[in-house]
């Protein structure tokens, strides 16, 4: 299979020839497929047809909107709006970072509960509305249970943990593991309050 440069004369000539036959080559998987069944229309696409086949579009859409992508983009936007540091990093970079520092992306860093795609949120350890917040940085974001994240709001981690564990049905996580779960220096300072109950 020849992979053409999308701007080359050969690619444009092939695209025109295929269009006359009712077909198109997908720019992602490079397979030639029927336009009528495998492509959608697009104002931006050549001849009014999308460059990606439906299968590749759905696949990239699932990856892009898996939950983390939008959450990270929203956190970056909110930090920028608040005048805080707003680093841009992808979900893949975040997952790699979490693994490198020993944070399991599928276990809540605070409550220790198993997470699923539906129950996982990302939380800013230092809330974005706190005056001394680290902002939206890769070291200030941890995986948490969505229910806990709603509970926490803009409370400090220590305040949120104390009130979370006092609620009926919430079992406390061993405090020794919590200190190592967060990588921001100074967030776990005994003089500011301990997570032990």
- Number of helices and strands in the chain (H, E): 8, 4
Please give the Cα distance from 1 to 30 (Å, whole number): 8
Q: Are residue 58 and residue 147 in the same domain, yes or no?
A: no
Are 175 and 168 spatial neighbours (Cβ–Cβ below 8 Å)?
Answer: no
Residue 126 predicted with pLDDT over 70: yes
Residue 107 belongs to a domain: yes
Confidence at residue 177, expressed as pLDDT on a 0 to 100 scale: 46
Residue 92 belongs to a domain: yes
CATH code of the domain covering residue 118: 1.10.30
Residue 145 belongs to a domain: yes
Please give the Cα distance from 72 to 77 (Å, whole number): 9
Are 126 and 187 spatial neighbours (Cβ–Cβ below 8 Å)?
Answer: yes
Q: Are residue 49 and residue 87 in the same domain, yes or no?
A: no
> What total number of domains does the chain contain?
2
Q: Are residue 23 and residue 37 in the same domain, yes or no?
A: yes
Q: Are residue 97 and residue 148 in the same domain, yes or no?
A: yes
Q: Are residue 47 and residue 22 in the same domain, yes or no?
A: yes
Q: Are residue 90 and residue 153 in the same domain, yes or no?
A: yes
Q: Which of 26-35, 65-74, 92-101 has the lowest mean pLDDT?
A: 65-74
Confidence at residue 64, expressed as pLDDT on a 0 to 100 scale: 65
For 154, how many CA atoms within 13 A lie in the half-sphere containing its CB?
6
Q: Collapsing DSSP states into helix, strand and coil, what is residue 183?
A: coil
Residue 172 belongs to a domain: no
Q: Are residue 55 and residue 130 in the same domain, yes or no?
A: no
Confidence at residue 191, expressed as pLDDT on a 0 to 100 scale: 44
Residue 123 belongs to a domain: yes
This prediction's pTM:
0.59
- List C-alpha distances in Å: 2 to 6, 9, 14, 31, 86: 12, 14, 11, 11, 41
Confidence at residue 61, expressed as pLDDT on a 0 to 100 scale: 75
Domain boundary among 44, 63, 82: 63
Q: Are residue 96 and residue 146 in the same domain, yes or no?
A: yes
Please give the Cα distance from 117 to 91 (Å, whole number): 13
Confidence at residue 143, expressed as pLDDT on a 0 to 100 scale: 92
CATH code of the domain covering residue 15: 3.30.60
The stretch 93-110 carries a mean pLDDT of: 89
Burial label for 6, CB within 10 Å (0-12, 13-18, 19+), is exposed
Report the share of the chain in percent with pLDDT over 70.
80
Q: Are residue 80 and residue 148 in the same domain, yes or no?
A: yes
Q: Are residue 90 and residue 46 in the same domain, yes or no?
A: no
Residue 192 belongs to a domain: no
Q: Are residue 34 and residue 117 in the same domain, yes or no?
A: no
- Residue 27 belongs to what domain range? 9-63
Please give the Cα distance from 95 to 133 (Å, whole number): 22
Q: Which of 18-22, 111-115, 139-143 has the lowest mean pLDDT?
A: 111-115
Q: Collapsing DSSP states into helix, strand and coil, what is residue 48?
A: helix
Give the residue carrying structure tokens 């970056």. Answer: 76
pLDDT tens digits, residue range 174-187?
Answer: 554 455 445 444 44
For 134, how many CA atoms within 13 A lie in the half-sphere containing its CB?
17
């Amino acid at each position: 299979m020849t992979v053409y440069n999308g701007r080359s004369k050969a690619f444009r000539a092939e695209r025109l020839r295929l269009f006359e036959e009712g077909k198109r080559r997908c720019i992602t998987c490079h397979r030639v497929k029927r336009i009528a069944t495998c492509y959608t229309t697009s104002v931006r696409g050549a001849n009014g047809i999308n460059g990606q086949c439906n299968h590749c579009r759905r696949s990239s859409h699932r990856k892009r909107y898996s939950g983390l992508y939008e959450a990270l983009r929203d956190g970056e936007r909110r930090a920028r709006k608040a005048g805080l540091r707003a680093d841009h990093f992808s979900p893949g970079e975040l997952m790699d970072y979490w693994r490198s520092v020993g944070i399991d992306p599928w276990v809540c860093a605070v409550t220790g509960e198993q997470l699923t795609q539906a129950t996982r949120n990302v939380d800013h350890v230092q809330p974005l509305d706190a005056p001394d917040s680290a902002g939206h940085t890769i070291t200030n974001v941890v995986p948490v249970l969505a229910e806990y994240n709603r509970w926490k709001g803009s409370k400090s981690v220590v305040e949120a943990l104390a009130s979370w564990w006092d609620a009926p049905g919430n079992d406390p996580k061993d405090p020794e593991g919590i200190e190592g779960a967060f990588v921001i220096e100074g967030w776990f300072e005994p003089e500011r309050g301990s997570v032990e109950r």
